[in-house]
Amino acid sequence: MAPQNIVVTGFGPFGEHKVNASWEAVSLLPEKLENFHLVKEQIPVVYKHVESKIPELWNKYNPKLIVHVGVSSYTSVVQLESCAHKSGYERRDIENCCPKNGAPCCAGDECIKTGIDVNKICERINKLGQFRACRSDDPGRYLCEFIYYTSLNIDRNRSLFIHVPPLNKPYTSQQLAEVLAEVIKYALIQLEEIDTAKKTEIINIYKNGRAAEAFCSFYHDNEVHD
């Protein structure tokens, strides 16, 4: 059976980030991780590209998980974003454009939260002792939040966004790649637990259904008529 896919994106240069730490880290990830094939994609900091490219990646690869990575000058730790908002995108991209009405064209709720437990992942990353990770509820109302909302609106249970600090503040690109790999591993563990729980629930429903069917059959065969 062909390996399943994980899509990981990083952004290209913009503003002061002539070398974007997000793509530098993503590009160093291995080709395979936990028996999954990693599809690595550099995304230009352009709204209209995100709106067309992200649904295309979902359709083409049907990923088990999609992880978007961006850089933030306001952090020195790895931030796992818990949610994204639909409106408020008024900061212009590298083509000097912003979305019409400051929102993506797709229909969706104003705020969408990821189904992945980012708190648990942060706890596990911090226990490693090599990196610091924290939860964030504010991805920034720029391309980072815009791309996250786009994926959450497609499947909130398989979407995650990670903000990394600029290079060498304090982590090198290789170190950032290592922590990204760990985050992905822990997210996959959660998804596997969810899949196992769903399978168990389906089996129980099936068993209970068969039991109910047998009971109804017995009752019908033994029904006393006046």
Residues catalogued as catalytic: 81, 144, 163
Cβ-proximal residues to 163 (8 Å cutoff; 6+ apart), any chain = 69, 70, 71, 72, 75, 78, 79, 80, 81, 136, 139, 144
Report the distance separating Cα 12 and Cα 45, nearest Å. Answer: 6
Query: Residue 218, Cα to own-chain centre: how many angstroms?
Result: 49
Report the distance separating Cα 218 and Cα 52, nearest Å. Answer: 57
Report the distance separating Cα 25 and Cα 214, nearest Å. Answer: 57
Report the distance separating Cα 132 and Cα 44, nearest Å. Answer: 27
Q: Which residue has the tokens 């168990």?
A: 200
Report the distance separating Cα 134 and Cα 136, nearest Å. Answer: 7
The per-residue b/e assignment along 160-190, b for 16 or more CB within 10 angstroms, e otherwise, is bbbbbbbbeeebebebbbbbbbbbbebbbeb
